[in-house]
Amino acid sequence: MDPSILATNKGLWAVKWSFIGLMITAILQIFIVFISGSVALLADTIHNFGDASTAIPLAIAFSLARRKPSKRFSYGYGRVEDLAGIIIVFLILFSAAVAGYESVNRFLNPQPVEHLQAVVIAAIIGCVGNEVVAQFRMKVGKEIGSAALIADGYHARIDGFTSLAVLVGAIGIWLGYPIIDPLIGMLITISILKIVVDSSKLVFTRLLDGVEPEVIDNVKNITESVEGVCEVTDLRVRWIGHRLHAEINASVSPSLSVEEGHEIANAIREKLLENFSYLSGTTIHVDPLTASGECCHYGSDNSEIPHGKQKQVSSACSQ
């Protein structure tokens, strides 16, 4: 089976079970919110429901990614996953707004918090449940190269910390400081806003075809390590969802035949696939050393510019 399809199926599997885990956690917490009246726990529960809801756009994105490319979408539907990442960011922002409103309202209109033992139990449930989901999402996200799933995993981990903050608030109330409860709710709101900023950087970088610099370096080093490759003159790499696409210009000896150049291109592709499990598309352009690089593909005038340089590279490669 195509590795990209296996990765997509694994992403759907992770989304399904993380959604179930977070919904169970949130439902257990919402019951305690009603009987206790803790605004800090309410903020945490709202955030957990919001975190669980992020599974919906992710599931849609992974489902569309299973479709084969069409004439209109010749690169496939992987970009939908990046759009899902944007939806996730806005859902997190919405949960911050709701939690912030409830915290400020409770700060201005204090109400007693009851059943502190139940609040403590709910906080512990939230912390454990979110950390389990966070580990699960990040592990699968890193395995398949999904930025959206990794961001969602970090989101769940911060949720676990906010549940610990609820625990601190409950202890503060027990010690006779009820003001701590809405203050903890405000701190949770601030932590959610930080997640919005961090997740936005990751998601929008992918959406704008940004890629980690070390990925570029690794692709270049692996390509140049293939026998017969003298130099990588041009290299472009981008993410489309959780799949990596690379476009490579590799220069070889001009004395090689077309068939030999084709074999080198296949060797490059095979070696890249061995080292990048999330690589699903490669475009490898084999150039002679005397005219390597994109600058030599625009006409005869430009091809003379790097000619002297290529002679030096040619002699170095032959050595």
The domain locations on the chain are 3-208, 213-296
Question: Across residues 60-72, what is the average pLDDT?
Answer: 77
| Higher pLDDT among residues 101 and 293, named by residue | 101
Which pLDDT does position 292 carry in this prediction?
63
Burial of 17 (0-12, 13-18, 19+ CB in 10 A): middle
Which pLDDT does position 182 carry in this prediction?
75
Which pLDDT does position 305 carry in this prediction?
43
Which pLDDT does position 302 carry in this prediction?
47
In the structure encoding, which two tokens stand for residue 142, read together? Answer: 């890193």
Summarised one tens digit per residue, pLDDT across range 146-174 is 766 777 777 777 777 777 777 777 777 77
Least confident of 26-35, 87-96, 147-156: 147-156
Which pLDDT does position 303 carry in this prediction?
45
Which pLDDT does position 306 carry in this prediction?
47
| AA identity, residue 104 | V
Summarised one tens digit per residue, pLDDT across range 233-246 is 888 888 877 777 88
| Higher pLDDT among residues 106 and 24, named by residue | 24
pLDDT at 286 over 80: yes
In the structure encoding, which two tokens stand for residue 300, read together? Answer: 């005869």
Rounded distance between C-alpha atoms, residue 289 and residue 238, angstroms:
26
Rounded distance between C-alpha atoms, residue 81 and residue 290, angstroms:
41
Summarised one tens digit per residue, pLDDT across range 112-141 is 666 677 778 877 887 888 888 888 888 887
Which pLDDT does position 110 carry in this prediction?
67
What percent of the chain is modeled with pLDDT above 70?
81
Question: Across residues 175-184, what is the average pLDDT?
Answer: 76
Say which CATH superfamily domain 213-296 falls into.
Answer: Cation efflux protein, cytoplasmic domain (3.30.70.1350)
pLDDT at 1 over 60: no
Distances (CA, A) of 57 to 53, 84, 137, 208: 8, 5, 15, 19
Least confident of 12-16, 227-231, 261-265: 12-16
Confidence (pTM)? 0.65
Backbone angle region of 293, left / alpha / beta, with phi > 0 → left and psi within -120 to 50 → alpha: left
Which pLDDT does position 147 carry in this prediction?
67
* Strongest mean pLDDT among 33-42, 107-116, 133-142: 133-142
Which pLDDT does position 291 carry in this prediction?
63
Which pLDDT does position 316 carry in this prediction?
45
> What integer best gives the mean pLDDT of the chain?
75
Q: Topology of domain 3-208, per CATH?
A: Alpha-lytic protease prodomain-like (1.20.1510)
Q: Do domains 3-208 and 213-296 have the same CATH topology?
A: no
Question: ∠ at Cα 101 (22, 111), nearest 5°?
Answer: 90
* Strongest mean pLDDT among 133-142, 180-189, 287-296: 133-142
